[in-house]
Amino acid sequence: MELSSCDLRIGAVNDAIDLAALARPLGVRFTFAGPLDDAFAAAAARSGAEVVRASSRTFSRAALPLYALDVARWVERLARHRPDVVHLNYAGWGPSLACAARLSHVPVAGRASGAFIDNNPSNRWVDTLLANCAPQASELLQSPLASRVVIAGDLFRPARVTAVDRHHRGLRAPRILFLGQLVERKGIHVLLEAFVRMEADAELWIVGGDWNSAGYPARLRAAIEALGIAGRVTLRNHTDDVAPLLQAADIFVLPSLSEARPRSILEAMLAELPVVASDVGGIPTLVEHDATGVLVPADDAPALAGALDRLASSEATRLQFGRAARRYVEQECRPERTARKYVETYRAMIADARRPRPPFGAGLLSRPRVTR
């Protein structure tokens, strides 16, 4: 499996490591490739996986000689490691590994996310597109690639989050917690505007990324000062141990402008936190409005403020929604079942690849056989 990032703060990276651990008892061994560092290599080793520190080049006619050289290097690596399947966590624009796999008659899986681009070489080389939910693959399901999409489910492992003892908070103001990357897509600027509009007394904790960074984090820090809320907002950098944060929180908020099925919501629900989140992507498949949390339109600060006010002013509602949220995760999140789906898909791809294929030239110019 080739990853485009080794950042262990990213859900998709943790999903890949979890998949390696969960698939191992099913007889599947993973080798990860990409821009991998020592921290990732150590995490991969704990899951029984190996690493290859090499990344694909994307297709470019202007740099075709360099691209062809990289394809040749990948052909050599594939001959050495002899994988049965190549899985691209992000297929991108005609990655050299996908081309090499096609040349080597190795079936290729890809992550089903993003928009369909008609002339992307990857469309000809990727046999199967895997998604954790239909909203993640919504655009591909409306494209000519729809028949290749497989909905596999979540890989989130509840064991990653230690048990949380939810208890009465006394006279302290309710604490609202955001966990995630400090990027504009997460809608943190909308959250700040909503927090200013709230009528109920509350604290806001924003945790993730590096608050000393320039760009979006710096703009958020400036906005907090300009809005006069610095005394009620706590900023903390990313931490691997989220249990104490979930323990101390009363409401979880994720005001994203776009999402798939974020594992931060699953972690919060497992910790019996009610969720206030944007009604986008796969979030509505996790959060049941008025049952486990409150859904609001994306980029709507007044609506977000109203939802936060509703939960901040009622401990009974918070407890009711939080308990229902935990029940949902315990009943629905079965990562072992998802891992089996991945393994079944891989094995179907291998069986399909063993059937006669067209010659090399036709293979590059025609669509591959569909794997379901």
List pLDDT tens digits, range 37-57.
999 999 999 999 999 999 999
- What CA–CA distance (Å, rounded) separates 74 from 296? 46
Q: Is the pLDDT of residue 139 over 80?
A: yes
- What CA–CA distance (Å, rounded) separates 83 from 101? 9
Architecture of domain 11-156+336-365: 3-Layer(aba) Sandwich (3.40)
Mean pLDDT of 266-271: 94
119 near 144, Cβ under 8 Å?
no
**What are the backbone angles phi and psi of residue 317, rounded to the nearest 5°?**
-65, -40
List pLDDT tens digits, range 279-297.
999 999 999 999 999 999 9
- Confidence band of 328 (pLDDT split at 50, 70, 90): very high
Mean pLDDT of 203-216: 97
- Confidence band of 363 (pLDDT split at 50, 70, 90): very low
Q: Is the pLDDT of residue 167 over 80?
A: no
- Domain positions in the chain: 11-156+336-365, 158-332
**What are the backbone angles phi and psi of residue 46, rounded to the nearest 5°?**
-65, -25
- The domains spanning 11-156+336-365 and 158-332 adopt the same CATH topology: yes
Per-residue pLDDT at 359:
59
The domain 158-332 having CATH identifier 2.60.40.10: the answer here is no
The structure's pTM equals 0.81
Alpha-carbon Rg of the chain, whole angstroms? 22
More confident residue, 341 or 361: 341
Residue type, 336: E
- Confidence band of 170 (pLDDT split at 50, 70, 90): low
Q: Is the pLDDT of residue 341 over 80?
A: yes
Q: Is the pLDDT of residue 27 over 60?
A: yes
- For residue 235, give the H/E element and its range: strand 233-236
For the chain, the residue count is 372
**What are the backbone angles phi and psi of residue 175, rounded to the nearest 5°?**
-105, 125
Q: Is the pLDDT of residue 166 over 70?
A: no
List pLDDT tens digits, range 81-94.
999 999 999 888 99
Q: Which residue is associated with the tokens 């794997």?
A: 371
1 near 30, Cβ under 8 Å?
yes
- Take residue 223 and report the two structure tokens written for it: 């906005």
**CA proximity to 55, closest of 39, 37, 36:** 36
Mean pLDDT of 173-187: 96
